[in-house]
């Protein structure tokens, strides 16, 4: 009986260890699939306007959704502008206006008025700063007069692209057909191809030779340079 009991206990221990190993291996496999699979994260934001700031898709960091009105004016919340690229912006409750400062400019923008004052000079705006459900939204299309940025909306990919023109960025022409990947890893699945003659914006290159690029439609990609 004792020997049988010992055998049963040994079998239980072996079964327990096997279950642990199977669980660990399963977790590793799932982690690898998530790590190399394209699109597992971006699908969460496929139905809303994405924000691409320079070389990064910042949609996940937005507190409020971007919207584009019927005239094509792009609106971003004051809170998101502050969090993403203008820490100096603030709302002056007394005069119901937005105030922001850069190295060379001071801008005052009264909410609901299609005009801003930049360095004591009145400048007409396409659309006004507005308030929706107690949230202030800026017509970022007009804010190019304040910030040294370029702003555009790519309808085909539902992306707003904002480029900081003070930041180094290289525009290049693809010289030969090149496969692109979702992540900078050899195991990452090919998700497209850069065609010869295609225009791209180039950013950093990793120590292992992976180059991050952005296509003209605002899609961030990786390829082996």
Out of 128, 149, 164, a domain closes at 164
Give dist(CA 191, CA 176) in Å, integer: 17
Asked whether residue 177 falls in the same domain as residue 214, the answer is: yes
Closest CA to 116 of 140, 132, 148: 140
CB 52 within 8 A of CB 58: yes
Query: What is the count of structural domains for the chain?
Result: 3
Q: Considering the domain boundaries, does residue 199 fall inside one?
A: yes
Q: Do 139 and 194 belong to one domain?
A: no
CATH number of the structural domain spanning residue 204: 2.30.30.40
* pLDDT mean over 49-67: 92
Does the residue 66 lie in any domain? yes
Report yes or no on 132 lying in a domain: yes
**Residue 17 counted as domain residue:** yes
The whole-number pLDDT of residue 42 equals: 46
Tell me the mean pLDDT in the region 70-81. 94
Owning domain of residue 220: 169-224
Residue with tokens 């801003």: 116
Residue 45 lies in a domain: no
Task: Give me the DSSP letters along 64-117.
Answer: S--EE-TT--EEEEHHHHHHHT-TT-EEETTTTEEEEE-SS-EEEEETT-SEEE
* Mean pLDDT calculated for residue range 113-118: 95
CATH number at residue 55: 3.30.457.10
pLDDT tens-digit series, residues 168-179? 677 778 888 877
Q: 160, 51 in Cβ contact below 8 A?
A: yes
Q: Is the pLDDT confidence value at 123 over 90?
A: yes
Q: What is the mean pLDDT of the chain?
A: 82
Q: What's the whole-model pTM score?
A: 0.72
């Amino acid at each position: 009986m004792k020997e049988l009991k010992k055998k049963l206990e040994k079998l239980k221990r072996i079964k327990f260890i096997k279950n642990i190993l199977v669980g660990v291996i399963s977790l590793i496999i799932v982690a690898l699939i998530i790590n190399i699979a394209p699109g597992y994260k971006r699908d969460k934001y496929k139905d809303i306007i994405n924000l691409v700031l320079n070389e990064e898709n910042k949609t996940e960091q937005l507190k409020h959704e971007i919207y584009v009105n019927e005239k094509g004016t792009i609106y971003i919340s004051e809170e998101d502008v502050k969090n993403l690229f203008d820490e100096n912006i603030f709302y002056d409750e007394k005069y119901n206006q937005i105030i922001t400062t850069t190295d060379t400019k001071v801008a005052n923008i009264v909410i609901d008025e299609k005009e801003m004052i930049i360095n004591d000079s009145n400048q007409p705006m396409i659309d006004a700063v507005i308030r929706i459900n107690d949230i202030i939204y800026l017509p970022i299309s007009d804010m190019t007069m304040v910030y040294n940025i370029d702003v555009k909306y790519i309808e085909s990919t539902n992306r707003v692209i904002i480029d900081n023109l003070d930041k180094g960025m290289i525009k290049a022409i693809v010289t030969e057909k090149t496969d692109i990947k979702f992540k900078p890893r050899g195991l990452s699945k090919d998700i497209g191809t850069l065609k010869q003659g295609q225009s791209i914006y180039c950013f950093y290159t990793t120590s292992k030779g992976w180059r991050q690029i952005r296509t003209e439609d605002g899609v961030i990609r990786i390829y082996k340079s």
